[in-house]
Structure 1
């Protein structure tokens, strides 16, 4: 009888000392996707042009000789290479070359465009600015076409992910799920229900938090990322407990287990006599 009591006592010790682990469904994203009415998130993806943006603008028309003055900052040897890679030693995940005349938006929101001179971009969206350029060039060119891309769309992912770092998105569009995918997903210690996004717009720093387990994430203004966004994944309680745990705890528990087992065996043999 005493042996059984000691065995039960040993089991209780081991269970009480075990670190609580996340339940399997705590690691799943958008668990209630079937129950969520997904609204159009297009309004949240509209970005305005910011100081420091590198705009690649290429003008074309039926007669390319006519538009040469508008592309005069560009030579065929120029190109911008962007890739979806992290900082440090993370291997490349695909490189895309963007070529074309490049204009850097200055602190006042201006770019110096050939023939047209200085053009202000403050509070203008990419689509709106493209339309403005096309309208202004119709004074010089018949049916001009304006192609514009953002060459330095960069985001940062930090915290409990497998690959922290800066990532450049070649097409200038990304969601928070795309970014976490580039970063190799969250570790098992990442707090999925409380991910911080820090954003700078028009010189103002704002922030918001998203719950990756809730499908309403899709309707959040932080679902579609914007230039310069930083995503920070905090550690969950399991990681915090593990960090605070004595590194010798495992050895101590093993010693206790062996000692209790030995006592149980001795008592069991003693009772048989």
Structure 2
């Protein structure tokens, strides 16, 4: 009887310790108040400033389109169906000096500028060389997709590209298969590139205040790392049923071994 009691106690203790707490599996919990908040979250995203190795998609249109054809890639009408490879070969890559090289206009320094600022720079250069009035030309400057890398405890690791202007951390993770219960949602790492090097930022995705973070929206070339929980290294399940099954298997193996030894 005592042996059965000890086994039951061991089972309960193991289940309670090795399970992932329910609150650790939930996103966007309101941890400051006991009731749901109706507060409007004000976004804190700053305009993205172009970095080395970024690829810019630049298109120039004019009343006489043949005069600007040299700036635009051949087969422009099929851009909606373009692949990442197409964006790479048709785009303008920012070199190690922060410049892009454009036909007729030569080298243009774009490092640290926003896409709106680069648009204005190109328009000014065109007005100096080709056109007399601003309403004769129309320039668009965009990043060729938002590329980032996800690694760690997620459904699908690797480098991903989303063709949107803005992508928040939840969209980025959803595009990578989301975080399983064995991933640490309380401390997701954002490794961001800066001219002077890399910096690491921490996000708690279980807290609604994450939407107030200046790192809630990811940037091109970000790396997202999700750490595994301790339960993953223990080799136990994420819930009570899985743990009971694992413990039952181990206990069955121990019992069988004891019985076989007793017969020897």
Show structure 1 runs of 5+ residues with no match: 84-96, 261-273
Contact residue 194 and residue 209 of structure 1 kept, 8 A: yes
In 1, Cα distance between equivalents of 2:40 and 2:234: 37
- What SS is found at the alignment partner of 2:205? coil
Q: 1:39 aligns with which of 37, 42, 45?
A: 42
Q: Which residue of 1 aligns with 2:158?
A: 165
C-alpha distance 103-254 of structure 1, shift in aligned 2 (>3 A): same
**After the TM superposition, which residues 193-208 of structure 1 pair with which residues of structure 2 at under 5 Å, given as runs?**
193-208=186-201
Contact residue 57 and residue 101 of structure 1 kept, 8 A: no
Contact residue 59 and residue 141 of structure 2 kept, 8 A: yes
In 1, Cα distance between equivalents of 2:124 and 2:219: 27
**After the TM superposition, which residues 93-242 of structure 1 pair with which residues of structure 2 at under 5 Å, given as runs?**
101-139=90-128, 140-141=130-131, 142=133, 143=135, 144-151=137-144, 153-242=146-235
In 2, Cα distance between equivalents of 1:134 and 1:155: 30
Q: Which residue of 1 aligns with 2:240?
A: none
Cα RMSD for the two superposed structures:
3.1
- What SS is found at the alignment partner of 2:96? coil
Contact residue 55 and residue 94 of structure 2 kept, 8 A: yes
C-alpha distance 241-35 of structure 1, shift in aligned 2 (>3 A): farther
The structure with the largest alpha-carbon Rg is 1
Contact residue 28 and residue 207 of structure 2 kept, 8 A: yes
After superposition, give the CA deviation of every residue in 1:50-73 in whole Å (9 maximum; x if it has no partner): 1111112110123313323443xx
- TM-score, length-scaled by structure 2: 0.78
Q: How many pairs are equivalent?
A: 237
In 1, Cα distance between equivalents of 2:88 and 2:54: 16
C-alpha distance 53-114 of structure 1, shift in aligned 2 (>3 A): same
- What SS is found at the alignment partner of 1:226? coil
Q: Which residue of 1 aligns with 2:64?
A: 63
In 1, Cα distance between equivalents of 2:63 and 2:89: 18
In 1, Cα distance between equivalents of 2:176 and 2:11: 36
Shift of 1:256: 5.6
- What SS is found at the alignment partner of 1:156? strand
After superposition, give the CA deviation of every residue in 1:74-108 in whole Å (9 maximum; x if it has no partner): 2228965139xxxxxxxxxxxxx759952111110
After superposition, give the CA deviation of every residue in 1:210-265 in whole Å (9 maximum; x if it has no partner): 0000111112122111111000000112113227xxxx9654422567899xxxxx
Contact residue 36 and residue 216 of structure 1 kept, 8 A: no
Shift of 1:188: 0.9
C-alpha distance 249-24 of structure 1, shift in aligned 2 (>3 A): closer
After superposition, give the CA deviation of every residue in 1:168-208 in whole Å (9 maximum; x if it has no partner): 12235321111100111101100010011101122421110
